[in-house]
Amino acid sequence: MKVSRVYNFSAGPAVLPESVLREAAEEMLDYKGTGMSVMEMSHRSKAYDTIIKEAEADLRELMNIPDNYKVLFLQGGANLQFAMIPMNLMKNKVADYIVTGQWAKKAYNEAKLYGTVNKIASSEDKTFSYIPDCSDLNISENADYVYICENNTIYGTKFKELPNTKGKTLVSDVSSCFLSEPVDVSKYGLIYGGVQKNIGPAGVVVAIIREDLVTDDTLPGTPTMMKYKTHVDAKSLYNTPPAYGIYICGKVFKWLKAQGGLEKMKEINDKKAALLYDFLDQSNMFKGTVVKEDRSIMNVPFVTGNDELDAKFIKESEKAGFVNLKGHRSVGGMRASIYNAMPMEGVEKLVDFMKKFEEENA
């Protein structure tokens, strides 16, 4: 099979490890002698049971997830979590949100359907180009939780330190930084994300929730499918799960283990990001849009300061095999998403291309 691959800088769905895709292709018609594709497999079968259990076990190992946390594979995308979180956790009907981008803002607006929601910090004043100081915020006394979006996909910022929640439960959307570096799960009540950036194909959400937060006491009118308890009790098999997506996630977990785990991934990701940021910092044409100390190592937005030049860069880079570098419409310019599966070589070649472009257009 002759295959020509591009360097795909999409913010999500995004690049996956080539070896994972090759395995999936090889197993498509006959998964390990079962005589069928994983797509055709009953989710109650022995073969699938092994797939989903191994996926969970590998994720637990990678993230060092404590025993008192449940791991769930859910449907509906991160957007469904924006409602599921308040429906399950808002016992006092109060929550505090830190708004550092469009996704945090959407979660904040959705939560308002269910109770009193306080915006306790925001960086909207400067187009979300920084993370506010969260060391001593005015946390509501009866807040059921404090919510953050830990890596802001669109703006390219990242919480380098978790907010001081003053003892309140921390809920975090890690969609765009999932498995990019080690995390201390015990600091969170709920940590979740859509898998379509760093883990697998769209259609699966991984949610990791502390046991004591899983209760039957949800808001009136909460659909059965939107109770965490439903899925905890059924071990993510209450109904037919997004089985093929979970299978691919499982392969990515094994790939991450083979790379050396999350410490190693952080090392690699830091290097990849430094390569790009160092170039941006010395370039006279390109510059990053985010304050240095809050820079994401996953999503790197940058601009030339000239819309026409931006457009020219995007066009020429695409021709050269660097695709999806156009920035989100709300920021403009460019954005390179350099998730786990983006090889170092991809970033090196991008920087070379940027250098050349700068010379040619100086």
Ligand X SMILES: Cc1ncc(COP(=O)(O)O)c(C=O)c1O
* Contacting positions for ligand X (CB under 6 A): 12, 77-79, 103, 149, 153, 173, 175-176, 194, 239-240
Q: Catalytic: which of 103, 251, 254, 310?
A: 103
Q: Is 255 known to be catalytic? A: no
Q: Where are the beta strands (DSSP E) in 196-281?
A: 205-210
Q: Residue 109 contacts by C-beta under 8 Å, 6 or more apart in sequence?
A: none
Does 277 engage in binding with its own copies (CB under 8 A)? Answer: no
User: What torsion do the CA atoms of 220, 226, 230, 236 make, to the nearest 10 degrees?
Assistant: 180
Q: How far apart are the first and last CA of the chain?
A: 41
Does 116 engage in binding with Mg ion (CB under 5 A)? Answer: no
176 binds, among ligand X, its own copies, Mg ion, none (CB under 5 to 8 A by kind): ligand X
- Token reading at 239: 């109904």
- Residue nearer to ligand X on the CB measure, 215 or 239: 239
Does 79 engage in binding with Mg ion (CB under 5 A)? Answer: no
Does 361 engage in binding with its own copies (CB under 8 A)? Answer: no
Q: Which of 103, 178, 255, 279 binds Mg ion (CB under 5 A)?
A: 103
DSSP element (H, E) containing 335? strand 334-337
To ligand X, the closest distance from the beta carbon of 66 in angstroms equals 24
Q: Catalytic: which of 58, 96, 173, 310?
A: 173
- Judged by CB under 8 A, the stretch of 89-97, 142-150, 200-208, 349-357 that binds its own copies is 200-208
Q: Which of 28, 57, 274, 311 binds its own copies (CB under 8 A)?
A: 28
Q: Is 197 known to be catalytic? A: yes
Does 10 engage in binding with its own copies (CB under 8 A)? Answer: yes
Q: Catalytic: which of 168, 197, 229, 272?
A: 197
Contact 179, 198 (CB under 8 A): yes
Percent of residues in the chain assigned helix, strand, coil, to nearest 5: 40, 15, 45
Q: Is 287 known to be catalytic? A: no
Number of residues lying near its own copies (CB under 8 A):
72
Report how far residue 175's alpha carbon sits from residue 183's, in angstroms, rounded to the nearest whole number. 14
CA 80 and chain centroid, separation? 15
Binding mask 299-328 for its own copies (x = CB under 8 A): ----------------------x-xx----
Segment 80 to 139, residues that bind its own copies, using CB under 8 A: 80, 82-84, 87, 110, 113-114
Q: Which of 89, 154, 170, 347 binds Mg ion (CB under 5 A)?
A: 154
Does 13 engage in binding with its own copies (CB under 8 A)? Answer: yes
Q: Which of 12, 17, 86, 101 binds Mg ion (CB under 5 A)?
A: 101
- Judged by CB under 5 A, the stretch of 45-53, 95-103, 106-114, 191-199 that binds Mg ion is 95-103
Strand-by-strand arrangement of the 334-337 sheet: 287-288, 299-303, 334-337
To its own copies, the closest distance from the beta carbon of 95 in angstroms equals 15
- Token reading at 360: 């040619």
Rg over CA atoms, the chain: 21
SS3 304: coil
Does 43 engage in binding with its own copies (CB under 8 A)? Answer: yes
- Token reading at 288: 């990053």
- Residue nearer to ligand X on the CB measure, 131 or 351: 131
CA distances from 112 to 86, 109, 121, 192 (A): 9, 5, 16, 20
Q: Residue 146 contacts by C-beta under 8 Å, 6 or more apart in sequence?
A: 95, 96, 97, 98, 120, 139, 163, 165, 168, 169, 170, 171
283 binds, among Mg ion, its own copies, ligand X, none (CB under 5 to 8 A by kind): Mg ion
CB-nearest residue to ligand X = 77
Q: Residue 39 contacts by C-beta under 8 Å, 6 or more apart in sequence?
A: 243, 244
Residue at token pair 């979590």: 81
Does 243 engage in binding with its own copies (CB under 8 A)? Answer: yes
Query: Rule CB under 5 A: which residues touch Mg ion?
Result: 101-103, 152-154, 283, 287
Residues catalogued as catalytic: 103, 173, 197
